[in-house]
């Protein structure tokens, strides 16, 4: 079942699912909020081993998250069932992260209008602009925690706290903490990939990991056995050389001041 779910990302997801999956912003960026851990639950058949906090998570009571210590970059695609391959929300998106205060998201240019939304967060500053029109807005995060998160899964009601902690840039930490066992090895190019699964009640996540690089290749979220979100990774790189200009707005973009507001979600599929 896991391989079938992951296989949805191999081709265009053009056939409508029985139930339309929730809209997914890629990447969703939200201000840090307290997350209450789940109470201890009896182990279920097939449940993933390990329930501890993520190594390298923020050392703050009641808060979870990750902070890549060096520049991280990924190119990701939303290939969820029911989302057509030509949909704007299914186009590649580039993401950079550094620590817990810097994030940059660039969507692909709209093939019809040419619009290209860029979101830059250098807490407490937030810039959102259209690369095509060279216009945007600047806002300031009011805090009190000036920390940016990049959760992979949408805010589904009842989503277990460990799955809320699953973020872009820290997938390997999640696997180590919640899904350490390799369920199956599959050929992938010249190497192999391992399927790791975490089952928490009716919520399940399957992550296909490159065994050589310890990097994610695909991620599938299922609810009651039905795939709802499928993410494909076209690029995944840690430890890049610092590029401070990534987290600064470029010259020549006309910014409108928007006052103080919480970090936004970059535009995604409606």
- 191: confidence class by pLDDT, cuts 50, 70, 90: confident
Q: Residue 211 is encoded by which pair of tokens?
A: 């065994």
DSSP strand pairing (215-223 vs 135-140): unpaired
In 3D space, the residue among 100, 93, 30, 35 whose CA is nearest the CA of residue 61 turns out to be 35
- Look at the chain and count its residues: 270
The answer on pLDDT for 122 being more than 80 is yes
Least confident of 33-37, 205-209, 237-241, 258-262: 33-37
The answer on pLDDT for 7 being more than 50 is no
What percent of the chain has a predicted confidence (pLDDT) above 70?
71
User: What confidence score (pLDDT) does residue 65 get?
Assistant: 65
Report the C-alpha gap between 17 and 23 in whole angstroms: 13
Q: Name the pTM for this structure.
A: 0.74
The answer on pLDDT for 205 being more than 80 is yes
Report the C-alpha gap between 37 and 34 in whole angstroms: 10
Residue identified by tokens 């696997």 is: 175
Residue range 2-260 forms a domain whose CATH class is mainly beta
User: What confidence score (pLDDT) does residue 262 get?
Assistant: 55
Mean pLDDT of 106-120: 89
pLDDT single digits (tens) 144-183: 889 999 999 998 889 999 999 999 999 999 999 999 999 9
User: What confidence score (pLDDT) does residue 85 get?
Assistant: 85
Contact predicate 17/82, CB 8 Å: yes
The answer on pLDDT for 139 being more than 60 is yes
User: What confidence score (pLDDT) does residue 22 get?
Assistant: 35
The answer on pLDDT for 245 being more than 70 is yes
**194: which residues sit within 8 A by CB, 6+ positions away?**
182, 183, 184, 185, 186, 208, 209, 211
N-to-C CA span, the chain: 29
Report the C-alpha gap between 131 and 134 in whole angstroms: 5
pLDDT single digits (tens) 58-98: 333 333 468 999 999 999 999 999 988 888 888 999 999 99
- 35: confidence class by pLDDT, cuts 50, 70, 90: very low
CA 177 from centroid of its chain's CA atoms: 17
- 189: confidence class by pLDDT, cuts 50, 70, 90: confident
- 261: confidence class by pLDDT, cuts 50, 70, 90: low
Contact predicate 209/198, CB 8 Å: no
Report the C-alpha gap between 210 and 208 in whole angstroms: 7
Least confident of 38-47, 69-78, 118-127, 227-236: 38-47
């Amino acid at each position: 079942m896991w391989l079938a779910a992951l296989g949805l990302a191999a081709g265009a997801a053009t056939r409508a699912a029985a139930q339309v999956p929730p809209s997914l912003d890629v990447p969703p960026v939200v201000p840090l909020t307290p997350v209450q851990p789940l109470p201890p639950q009896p182990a279920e058949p097939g449940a993933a081993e390990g329930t501890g906090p993520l190594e390298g998570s923020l050392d703050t009571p009641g808060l979870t998250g990750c902070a890549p210590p060096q520049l991280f970059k990924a190119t990701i695609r939303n290939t969820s069932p029911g989302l057509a391959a030509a949909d704007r929300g299914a186009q590649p998106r580039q993401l950079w992260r550094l620590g817990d205060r810097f994030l940059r998201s660039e969507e692909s240019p709209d093939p019809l209008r040419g619009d290209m939304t860029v979101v830059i967060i250098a807490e407490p500053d937030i810039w959102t602009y259209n690369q095509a029109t060279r216009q945007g807005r600047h806002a300031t995060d009011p805090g009190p925690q000036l920390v940016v998160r990049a959760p992979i899964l949408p805010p589904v009601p009842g989503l277990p706290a460990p799955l809320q902690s699953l973020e872009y840039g820290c997938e390997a930490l999640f696997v180590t903490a919640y899904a350490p066992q390799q369920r199956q090895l599959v050929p992938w190019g010249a190497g192999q990939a391992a399927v790791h699964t975490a089952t928490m009640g009716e919520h399940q996540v399957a992550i296909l990991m490159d065994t050589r690089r310890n990097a994610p290749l695909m991620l599938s979220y299922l609810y009651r056995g039905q795939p709802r979100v499928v993410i494909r990774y076209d690029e995944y790189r840690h430890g890049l050389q610092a590029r401070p200009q990534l987290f600064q707005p470029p010259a020549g973009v006309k910014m409108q001041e928007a006052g103080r507001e919480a970090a936004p979600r970059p535009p995604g599929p409606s």
